[in-house]
């Protein structure tokens, strides 16, 4: 029976940092996830027609871990989502190699059916860990803090004019920060919460 290893957010963060030190030691952003996958790891990236429409999948890592299949529409039209899906599947490649040794799927249909057959708790861990890896790969901690400081300082005068700081101020800031990392704003917003940025960086300075 499929059994996903239980890795914490912090443990995955350590593995992600080690991975970047090996494959993108400059940590320059935006993280070139496509280049890392194709040129550093030698994996293929294949656009897959109607992958999401027909199978409900954004992407999947092949059984032999040699290729990542991505929904064709996402590949062609939604760059930020495409990058995140690549990073997510890369997370399975880095974190779940032993799991893939026991899998037998050969097609998108097989993979979709396999996911349905797995106990909800196990598939939830499997996908959650992929999400955690993707978010920490594309938005590394130090770079997030540095960019947050830049953006907050950029708008400090406007912030000081506010009668009070809105509770959702970091949600608005995340929109601008996301451009630096080439990801969608919710990814940055989640990382801001996980890293407890509001406690580390004062809006008013």
Scored b (16 or more CB within 10 A) or e, 64-83 reads ebebbbbbbbbbeeeebbbb
> Domain segments of the chain: what residues?
9-138, 141-199
* Crossing angle of helices 120-138 and 79-95, rounded to 10°: 120
For the record, the structure tokens of 50 come out as 């109607």
User: What is the full per-residue pLDDT of the chain (205 aa) written as tens digits?
Assistant: 678 889 999 999 999 999 999 999 999 999 999 999 999 999 999 999 999 999 999 999 999 999 999 999 999 999 999 999 999 999 999 999 988 888 888 889 999 998 888 889 889 999 999 999 999 999 999 999 999 999 999 998 888 888 788 888 999 999 999 999 999 999 999 999 999 999 999 887 6
Peptide linkage before 30 cis (omega within 30 of 0): yes
Q: Cβ atoms within 10 A of the Cβ of 41, count?
A: 15
The pTM of the full predicted model, rounded to 2 decimals, is 0.94
Strand partners for 58: none
Place of tokens 């030691």: 25
Which architecture does CATH list for 9-138? Answer: Orthogonal Bundle (1.10)
On whether the CB atoms of residues 80 and 184 are closer than 8 A, the answer is: yes
């Amino acid at each position: 029976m499929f059994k996903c290893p239980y890795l914490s957010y912090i443990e995955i963060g350590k593995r992600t940092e080690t991975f970047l030190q090996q494959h993108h030691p400059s940590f320059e952003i935006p993280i070139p996830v496509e280049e890392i996958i194709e040129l550093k790891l030698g994996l293929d990236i294949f656009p897959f027609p109607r992958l999401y429409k027909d199978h409900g999948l954004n992407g999947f890592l092949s059984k032999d871990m040699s290729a990542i299949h991505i929904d064709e529409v996402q590949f062609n039209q939604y760059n930020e989502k495409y990058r995140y899906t690549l990073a997510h599947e890369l997370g399975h490649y880095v974190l779940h190699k032993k799991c893939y040794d026991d899998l037998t799927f050969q097609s998108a249909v097989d993979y979709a059916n396999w996911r349905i057959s797995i106990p909800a708790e196990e598939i939830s861990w499997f996908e959650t860990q992929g999400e955690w890896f993707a978010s920490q790969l594309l938005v590394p901690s130090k770079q997030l803090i540095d960019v947050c400081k830049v953006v907050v300082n950029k708008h400090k005068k406007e912030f000081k004019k506010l009668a009070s700081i809105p509770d959702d101020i970091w949600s608005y800031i995340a929109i601008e920060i996301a451009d630096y990392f080439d990801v969608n704003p919710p990814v940055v917003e989640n990382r801001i919460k996980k890293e407890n940025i509001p406690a580390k960086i004062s809006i008013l300075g």
